[in-house]
Structure 1
Amino acid sequence: MMSLPDTDSEDELPPGWEERATDDGTVCYVNQQNKTSQWTHPRTGRSKRITGELPIGWEKYYDEQLKKFIFLNKETQQRSNVDPRLAFAVEEPTQNVAQVRQRFDSCSTALQVLHGKDLHGRIALITGANCGIGFETARSLTQHGCEIIFACRSRASAEAAIDRIAQERPSARARCRFVALDLSSLRAVQQFVREIKESVNHIDYLFLNAGVFALPYSTTVDGLETTFQVSHLSHFYLTMQLETLFDYKTRIVVLSSESHRFANLPVDNLAIHHVSPPAEKYWSMMAYNNAKLCNVLFAQELAQRWKQRGISVFSVHPGNMVSTELSRNYWFYRWLFAIVRPFTKSLQQAAATSIYCATANELTGLSGLYFNNCYFCEPSKLSKSAALQQQLWHLSEHLVSELLEDH
């Protein structure tokens, strides 16, 4: 580890480091030389928080031209993007997830979670935002000023979804845009990433929401079983390729399911035939369970790898048998979902946990947790296997590299 230069004050920042404050008052430390960030002071290893109102004479406003919040001293007309309260930041004890108070539950809606929040200037990228939980997530965020990138396969369905949002709130149309994303093709993901990087320089919220369920056996253009590639591998590749657009303000939410508890992936010697089985060993329900386990495994490993950057990663269960288009591929599941519809969550309730993980102030500095009903819970024992997390990561890297080289 590189030693830091001597100083008279252990609280003095090393050269190239800056202090910044998040919306909830947590202090973040940014290294301008290597473009990394972390929640703890680079010398003391402790975290800080700012509290209270802005000093007398100061106000905060959003600059539409600069696309950022600015602090203005009304007396001197001094403008700064640095919160003046940083000068009075105080140390706080290390945050413990057990100390997070539960504010919402299974009945809470996405709009209740967002009550009072101003998300102007924030950008969310949502895969599968054209329908179901993804659409309800987009709709709720736009009502609070967030810009949404609809990452969908079908332009027609995405634009129809944007029209529905605009009918409810006309001003939201300007904050929504479609970018084509076909998760059944790594080359299509590659093209999507190029387009995103040309149009934005930062992503605040990444919702890995898209998925498939109860598919008859099929393979993608890359030759992999469709459920695995669409639900996990392409999302893995997408996230890795967008890495430069993430910083300490970014939260990544991976939609999984309680179905991950019924997966059957082996703890040792994970191989491609386990995650992408041949037709004769394929069962649609187990393919879904295993894909949902991959979602949790990926979120856990990503959280560990990006912990020092201050990027929060969470996996969530939105609800049991929520009435979405997920069941459209098989008549039996369409019938079953229709039968249980009166007893399951609404789409507003199903989107609440994802939005809570993306926006809740009390989760600042936390990462790698699994949430259900807007509160953390223990995922399966299998999903907590560090060995399996690492095996899936390495297998995913290998598959992406091999498939892109072959094409």
Structure 2
Amino acid sequence: MGARASFPMVTLTKNRIIVVTGANTGIGYEIAKHCAFMGATVILACRSEARARNAMERMQQEYESEVITAHGENNRLAIEFMHVDLSSFKSVVTFCDEFKKTGRQLHVLFCNAGLGMAPYSVTVDGLELILQANYLGHFLMIAKLLDVMKRSGPDCRILLTASSAHSAARRIDISTMNFTGNERDYSQIVYYGRSKAYQIMQAITMTSRLKGSNISVNSFHPGLVATEFGRYINNSCLKCCVKCICGCGCARTPIQGATCGIDLAVNPDYSGVSGHYWIDCRITEPKSCVRNEETQIAVWRESFKFLKDYLTEDEINAMEGK
């Protein structure tokens, strides 16, 4: 058996700005917490302000008990809340505009928030919920903030929380990327898997377009983690399976699930390493359904079509590496 995956405890400065979506719970919480423990300024980009502020209080308490007690330090964490609802393109645009107004740089954009296998639902933008909340909302955020990252100095990183569930995508059909069929034909597993497949493909496609830039893009699989992942599942058999796995101790803890993500966010050895899919802090080959270059390009182009009303020509050109 190999050594357990881990991340280095490096020293970050408050000038190192990290945005983590969905940072109020689960692996997002652990990613944000440990990056802040190392000294970075971390912005918790969440939908619920109340939950985010409760998470920030908990982080500070844990910092005081785990770090200050051990090392005698007496600093407050540099953690902040900013509102964003990834199921609303308008909300994502507002978030990006508000961030730009601060004049800050952006060094790590951690696209972590997302829904698990949820029943079919349509967003305010008329799109299938999982597609927008897990993939397109983050795609728009990346496009809107890419120019800021390009001007933020060396070693900027975009990280995407994907999943081995991308294997459920099987054959990816662009014409059904946004589900519009009969609700009875909607598969939670397939469309969740597709959303994660799109993220893995995005990391690969963006890397080829940003070659030679200061920005790296990677995706990772956290494993099956005992979090709120299954709270929206309405399939009784599937829900029972998830509960059994979590209940018998087979699922990972949030920090175990977050370890690879934290490593990708802070490890200096990964500067410039881009376009990969990671599991347990190791580069791993994703399933064949996401490795086809024609499919990658088709998904990439289709993604822009969904967002055409929200992206400027300059933002599109930046994403294309022009």
Which bin holds the TM-score, normalised by the shorter protein? 0.7 to 0.9
**2:120 is matched with which residue: 217, 236, 255?**
217
Match of 1:371?
A: 278
| Cα displacement (A) at 1:141 | 1.0
Q: Does 1:233 align with 2:136?
A: yes
**What is the 5 A alignment of 1:5-84?**
none
| Alpha-carbon distance, 1:404 to partner | 8.0
Q: Secondary structure at the match of 1:287?
A: helix
Does the C-alpha gap of structure 1 residues 200 and 249 become closer, same or farther in structure 2, counting only changes over 3 Å? farther
The answer to whether 1:308 aligns with 2:206 is no
Q: Measure how far apart 1:356 and its partner are.
A: 1.3
Give the deviation of 1:153 after TM superposition: 0.5
Match of 1:243 among 123, 128, 146: 146
- Equivalent residue for 1:123? 17
1:266 to partner: Cα distance: 3.2
**1:336 equivalent in structure 2:** 241
Q: What is the CA distance between 1:339 and its match in structure 2?
A: 2.4
Distance 1:226 1:188 in 2: 15
The residue type equivalent to 1:229 in the other structure is Q
After TM superposition, the runs of 4+ consecutive aligned structure 1 residues lying more than 4 A away are: 170-174, 331-335, 402-405
Distance of 2:273 and 2:292 partners within structure 1: 19
CA distance in 2, matches of 1:297, 1:182: 23
Q: Say whether the 8 Å CA contact 1:120–1:144 is kept in structure 2.
A: no
1:391 pairs, out of 270, 274, 298, with 298
TM-score for the superposition, normalised by structure 1: 0.68
Cα shift readout 1:327-360 (whole Å, capped 9, x = no counterpart): 1113645543342231222211111111111222
Partner of residue 136, structure 1: 30
Identical positions, percent: 30
Q: Residue in 2 aligned with 1:294?
A: 198
- Residues 168, 189 of structure 2: 8 Å contact kept: no
Deviates more, 1:225-234 or 1:244-253: 244-253
Aligned counterpart for 1:188 among listed residues 75, 88, 91: 91
For the pair shown, which has the larger CA radius of gyration, 1 or 2?
Answer: 1
Write 1 or 2 for the structure with the bigger share of strand: 1
User: Per chain length, whose mean CA-contact separation is higher, i.e. which structure has more relative contact order (CA < 8 Å, sep 6+)?
Assistant: 2
Which residue of structure 2 aligns with residue 41 of structure 1?
A: none
2:43 is matched with 149
In structure 2, the residue matched to 1:323 is 226
Contact kept in structure 2, 1:275 and 1:290, CA below 8 Å: no
Post-superposition shift, 1:173? Answer: 4.9
On the 8 A contact 1:312/1:367 being kept in 2, the answer is yes
Give CA deviations for 1:166-213 in whole Å, capped at 9, x if unaligned. Answer: 112256755111111001110111101010111143111111101111
Pick the aligned partner of 2:159 from 253, 278, 281: 253
Alpha carbons of structure 1 residues 245 and 172: separation in structure 2 relative to 1, 3 Å: farther
Whose helix proportion is higher, 1 or 2? 2
Aligned length: 294
> Counterpart of 1:135 in structure 2: which amino acid?
Y
